[in-house]
Structure formats: C-alpha cells, structure tokens
Structure 1
Amino acid sequence: MSGFCSARFDTAFHAAAANWSAWRRDYNWEKAWQDRPLLTCEHLFSRFCNEYNLARNIPGDPTEKNAKRRREKAERRKKVVMNYLRTHSIPEVPAELDNYATKGFLTAVNSATEDLPELPVKSKDSGMNKESQKVAPSISLFSKVACFAFPARIPPIDRLNKAALENPTQYADFHQRFMERHDWLWNTVKERNIKMLPPSFIAKYHYNDTELGVPTAFRMRITDNYLTLEGSKKLRKAHAK
C-alpha cells in the first residue's frame, strides 16, 4: 500500500465533487427503486454508460458495418439492461453482488434480445458459454448502479481501483479491502486536520453532516477516486517495465 498523497487526495476530492454535482439527483433519490431517474430515462442511462465506461459491455453488433444500425442495436441492448435493473433491485449486501449477474440476469436479457447477435465474451468472465450471452454480465456495471442507491455502503468496482487493492477477484473481497483503505484514508485526513468542504459547498448540496464536515457517502466517492488514481499510476508503472 502506498502512503498518503495530498495531491492525489485533492484531485480525488474535486473529481468526487464534480461527479456528485452531476448525479446528485440519483445519489439523493429516496423514492421507489423502480422510479429512479437513472433507470427510467433511456437518455440518462445511455449517458451513465458512456461516462462510466460501461458502453463496451452493451455494444451494438461487432459484425455490423453500418454505424447507424450498430448504434440502434446498442441502444436496444441498453434499454433491455435498464429495464431489468429497474425491475430487479440490486442487493446492498456485498456478498450478493457477485451472484446478481448469474442468477436471472443473463436468462432474462437473452430472452429479451433474441433477434440480436451473440457477443464475443469469454466464458471465464461469467461462468457461462460465450454463445449464450447477449450482454456481458458486468459486476462493474451493477456496482456502479448500486453505488447510486447505497453510496455510503457500496463502492463501485473497476480495473483501476481493483489494481490499487491487489486485484481481488470477488466483489466481497474487494469491498473488504476498499473499506480498510477507506478507514485508513480518513483516519489520515483526521490526523492531519485536513479541511476540504467550504460552508458554501455544504450549503449548496444540503450537507449538514458530521465528522470532518463530509458525509459518509461523499467520503466513499473520494476514496473511490483516490484508489482509482493510485491504481492508474500502478498500472502505468507495470506497463512501463
């Protein structure tokens, strides 16, 4: 584990602030799961997939040469995934996220996309034959949706923050390591008496929390960005060797 980096922390804070500002309606959503804006608006879900680098999991047709038809098929796949997520709420228990993709998701999505071509997904990624997949089951996608619903408890997972945590293979293991680093990071911030959120920022986003003046959910976003930056640096060094 690398030591505390103040420059990285500052960058992580500003990235988290921008993300929270852009998506605060979903972060702060308190009504029914199925009415969540992210899962009821196709344009918003498409934007989410693009901004969070998830579109690769829901492509159009790798064999289709016509760009317009590829986009149309990609949007159809996204709509099927969005509808499934809206009608099957994601569990907030870390140990259950790994099973979410393989218990119902693929079967439901495949049956709803019968006229779409198969995706060239390696079987090791899902424990299923690649011929049966119409959408790549992505724990990254599911965790990022879950993060909107449970931002104080469920961090998103991707290859960069995994790299910072020695690449755990199961979400439950990732979650445990993430929380250990989260506690370390914020204990360090407290020890160094680092103040980040000005009163104007807190007032703008209706934060009236707590220890360090930073809500738990927002702290989790900062930790995620901090680990993403750390993991990115680690991967760059590995590739440079």
Structure 2
Amino acid sequence: MTPPSKHDDDSLLREAARFPHVERGQRVGLFGGSFNPPHEGHLHVSETALIRGALDQVWWMVTPGNPLKDHSELAPLAERIRLCRQVARHPGIKVTAFEARYKVNYTEQALTIVKRYHQDVRFIWLMGADNLAGFHRWQNWRRIAGMMPIMVVDRPGSTLAYRSARAAIALSRYRVDETDSELLADLSPPAWTFIHAPRNVLSSTAIRNSRKNGTAD
C-alpha cells in the first residue's frame, strides 16, 4: 500500500480542523486525548457514554500533544487522525483535531472554544477512570469541572478512583448516581458521574510497549 503523501496529510489536517456537524439541542460527549494510538478501549468508553449518557455524538478530540506527557514517541497528528477514523467505527463517533487549528494545548482552552461556537449544544466531558486519578494535576481542573458535566467510565485498575482520587473527593457533593446518567447532559455544572461498565484492558501505552518489544500483532 502506498503511504500517504504530504498532500494527503495536509488535506486530512484541514478537514479534521473543522468541528463536526452538530444540530441545535443535541447532546455531545467530548473525549480528548493524544490517541497514540487509538484502540478498542477508546471505542469502549465512547460507546458506553453514548448509551449511558443518551448522547447523540461523541467527539474524539485528537490533541497536538498532552502537556503532561512525553512527546518523544508521539506519532504525527495526521497519522493519529487516520487511525482514529479506522478505529471509531460507530456512526455517532466523530474525529476532530480543531485544537491544532486554534493552537491550544490545554483542556480548559479547548472547552472554551467549543462552547463559544456551539452555545445551543449540551456538552459533557468524557474521561476514562484512569484519568480521574490525575485530574487534579490538569491546568485549571476546577474550572473544567465548572464548565460542563463530566462522565467518568470505568477502566481496569481504576474502579476505586471515584472514591480515592483527589478531584473526586473535592467534587464528591456534585456526584450524580450512575442510575441517573441519562440526565447528566441536562444538569448545570459542576456535576459528574462514575459509570461502572465492562472494562476493556487495552491502553495506548501497552500497545506502544508491545510494539517496541515485538509482541504486537
């Protein structure tokens, strides 16, 4: 197979720099990350959120690079977008890289832009439970919690994060029982819920390590 040309990559980046189409009043989950690489675990979290949150869409926000992570093994943005489109097989999952267009590196900045251009859409922030443990280290994490409701989906080894994570403890009085998760997008932030669901063991780090060790398929 012929590898993508620079022209192909440039065209892909221009297309991905736009926001996905969304209708007024729709409920959208925002799932940010480097997706380096994307995998079935990302798909599992997204499909769980679509069902449990009664969402119309989930946007995979493919970031230029996480400020809290080492970029030495970060694949080019165009490559990650292309792989995301292959993995995100659900019609409700949309892939976007608008953060590169607006030159933002932090979640708070990205959510500010999303809300500015989509004032009639009901958004929730979506994360795996493994990210909840370090949420308090994100820049302006309390402001993020006050910008839109948050759905945390269970991940292997992170089930107790909703009890022990520093951010979870600080926001404990705003926690919504998961039986009411379909109401989350309608609530005023701060509001968050933890979804117990079948857990997918895949992670981007494990996949990269297996490739380096020659054990990947």
TM over 0.5: no
Normalised by the length of structure 1, the TM-score is 0.27
Normalised by the length of structure 2, the TM-score is 0.29
Higher helix share: 1
Higher strand share: 2
The structure whose Rg is larger is 1
